[in-house]
Amino acid sequence: MGDQEKNYSTNHRKTALALSIIPGLGQFYNKQWIKGIVFLILTASFFIAFTDLIQYGFWGLFTLGIDPTYDHSITLLVEGILAVIVTLLGLSIYALNLRDAFKVGKQRDQNQEPNSVRQQYQNLIGGGFPYLMMTPGFMLLIFVVIFPILFVVLLSFTNYDLYHSPPANLVDWIGFQNFIDIFRIKIWRETFFSVLAWTVIWTFGATTLQIALGIFLAVMMNQKGIKFQKVIRTVFILPWAVPAFVSILVFAGMFNETFGTINNDILALFGLGDIPWLTNPTYTKIALIMIQTWLGFPFIFAMVTGVLQSIPSELYEAADVDGATIMQKFRQITLPLVLYAIAPILITQYTFNFNNFNVIFLFNGGGPAVPGQNAGGTDILISWIYSLTVSSAQYGKAAAITMILSLIVIAVALWQFRRTKSFQEEDMM
């Protein structure tokens, strides 16, 4: 830096930068009048429009209200997040102003003419075009995706529940107490770990079964000599084609203990007619895994069928010459190629089932109830969060569990994407 500075006889860039502490002045100094006025007006209107929101918002964010008759803690929290977002937007405009003054000053130091208004306009249209195109989508994303995430993060540090709930009461910041409680208080700890254990078993059990069945059927259908290929494949795809919520509700009826066909018709044939599918947690779990296998295998089947058709037949012919058995061909050729090709899809299948709310909730509402814990016997983390929010109004705890769940998902996601090629290729990013 020192060397470079000597090359310049003037020091416009530093002066412009310093003057830009008040946005616009640096641009005036650089004799870019219009740009300076735009910055000045932007700053002024920002302060006029948002000073109240920012002051009130930050006050609310820190205190969450002091008097329950006037202050609604959750409203204050929402306004606080709004104030944070607006402040960040303002700061980024401010940074843009500083950067611009510095850049133009540097051009002057290098004895270049600053851009004319016309050129600036063209720069704005050219360089600003991607921002312009992304603004609508980005705004929506901020309000319906990023905003809720911030809200949940903040909520997990509050005591918002049935007893601390506006308008009658205030909500307070309690630091990490929710997280500590989940691991300290016996009923929470036991529930959390039993739900987590079942979530893991569910994710691995159901997903692996559906993948295994899908691959098996695809390989089987790929052998020569099977007739009616098209009809059979169409039937195999059917469970995917019917909306999942319809199938799950139908299964809930089929497994019903009084009128369900599983007990009354099918199992009755074998002399077993009274299995408590919906009232015994173990049987509900078995039923859920079978249902998810039924729902999920066609997707894998379709994917693997596509891959199999692209495996060159020479590989198998060479294996035949060497006298390989069917099992050897499957284990040495088919399986590695298939798994390699569909690996990213498989991982998304696991994360999907990890958060598969629909099947758990629609089949039996997460039930049956189990003594000694405040989640149902088949609740997975996401459905537990739902029932904590909707039926027992434990918002703070639910938010804390959401955070834990998100951390797990993000960790898996990052691990996955570091392995995929697209992440490393410069042009893809």
Partner 1 sequence: MKNSRAKTIQLTLSYLVILFMFAIILYPILWIVGASFNPGNSLSGSSIIPSDATLSHYKELFDLEKSDYLLWYWNTLKICFITMVLSVILVSLTAYSFSRFRFVGRKNGLMTFLILQMIPNFAALIAIYALANLTGLLDTHLALILVYTGGAIPMNTYLMKGYLDTIPKELDESARMDGAGNFRIFWQIVMPLAKPIIAVVSLFTFITPFTDFILARILLRTEEKFTLAVGLFELISGQFGNEFTKFAAGAVLIAIPIAIMFLSLQKYFVSGLTAGGTKG
Please list every residue from 55 through 114 that binds partner 1, using CB under 8 A: 74-75, 78
For tokens 């002066």, the residue is 15
Q: Which residues have a Cβ under 8 Å from the Cβ of 274 and sit 6 or more positions away?
A: 257, 263
Question: Is position 385 an interface residue for partner 1 (rule: CB under 8 A)?
Answer: yes
Question: Is position 4 an interface residue for partner 1 (rule: CB under 8 A)?
Answer: no
Question: Is position 162 an interface residue for partner 1 (rule: CB under 8 A)?
Answer: no
Contact 211, 300 (CB under 8 A): yes
210-229 binders of partner 1 (CB under 8 A): 217, 220, 223, 225-226
Range in contact with partner 1 (rule: CB under 8 A) among 15-23, 45-53, 330-338, 398-406: 398-406
Contact 24, 93 (CB under 8 A): no
Q: Report the candidate in 24, 14, 139 with the shortest Cα–Cα distance to residue 93.
A: 24
How many angstroms separate the CA atoms of 253 and 260, rounded? 6
239-258 binders of partner 1 (CB under 8 A): 239-247, 249-254, 258
User: Nearest distance from residue 409's CB to partner 1, in Å?
Assistant: 5
3-class state of residue 42 by DSSP: helix
Question: Is position 173 an interface residue for partner 1 (rule: CB under 8 A)?
Answer: no
How many angstroms separate the CA atoms of 102 and 29, rounded? 11
User: Nearest distance from residue 23's CB to partner 1, in Å?
Assistant: 19
Binding residue for partner 1, selected from 1, 48, 144, 168, defined by CB under 8 A: 144
Binding residue for partner 1, selected from 265, 273, 328, 415, defined by CB under 8 A: 265
Contact 54, 86 (CB under 8 A): yes
319-338 binders of partner 1 (CB under 8 A): 326
Contact 97, 38 (CB under 8 A): no
CA angle 196, 199, 205 (to 5 degrees): 140
CB burial string 6-28: b at 16+ within 10 A, e below: eeeeeebbebbbbbbeebbbbbb
User: Nearest distance from residue 5's CB to partner 1, in Å?
Assistant: 26
Q: Which is nearer to partner 1, 7 or 258 (CB)?
A: 258
Binding residue for partner 1, selected from 18, 42, 237, 267, defined by CB under 8 A: 237
How many residues of this chain interact with partner 1, rule: CB under 8 A? 95
Question: Is position 413 an interface residue for partner 1 (rule: CB under 8 A)?
Answer: yes
295-324 binders of partner 1 (CB under 8 A): 299, 302-303, 306
User: Nearest distance from residue 393's CB to partner 1, in Å?
Assistant: 10
Range in contact with partner 1 (rule: CB under 8 A) among 32-40, 51-59, 176-184, 233-241: 233-241
Distances (CA, A) of 283 to 80, 274, 355, 364: 47, 12, 21, 12
CB burial string 389-417: b at 16+ within 10 A, e below: beeeebbbbbbbbbbbbeebeeeeeeebe
Q: Which is nearer to partner 1, 104 or 385 (CB)?
A: 385
Range in contact with partner 1 (rule: CB under 8 A) among 45-53, 178-186, 195-203, 237-245: 237-245
Q: Which is nearer to partner 1, 25 or 362 (CB)?
A: 362
Q: Which is nearer to partner 1, 238 or 272 (CB)?
A: 238
Site string for partner 1, 338-367 (x = CB under 8 A): ----x-xx--x--x---x-xx--xx--x--
User: Nearest distance from residue 2's CB to partner 1, in Å?
Assistant: 28
Contact 303, 312 (CB under 8 A): no
